[in-house]
Amino acid sequence: MATLIDKHLAYVDNATVSAQKRQQKLWKAVTAKRSKAGLLPLTDEVLDEYIQAARMTASLMIDIEMVRDEYLAEKAGGKNKATTRTKAKPARKKR
């Protein structure tokens, strides 16, 4: 039976593949619009879409790290994330 971590990892895997395909497609469109001097079109809407796709891919990498941390915590003894992290103590006021 698939655990919640397995389901989340499958989702993140699929989303990453989709985001990378979109990113690659947009990059090809951006580079196809290079000037004769080989410069990228910095004011093009497709470049903005590419940047957004790259940011999405980066945020999915954070999700993969979170899933990995959850998996390792579960494997290390069944502790959940809330119990493995220590809460920061409030700073003392200077008098």
Domain edges within the chain: 4-77
List the chain residues with pLDDT less than 70: 78-91, 93-95
Rounded to two decimals, the pTM is 0.65
The predicted pLDDT at position 31 comes to 93
The predicted pLDDT at position 17 comes to 93
The predicted pLDDT at position 18 comes to 94
Q: Are 22 and 53 in contact (CB under 8 A)?
A: yes
SS (H, E, C) 9-38: HHHHHHHHHHHHHHHHHHHHHHHHCCCCCC
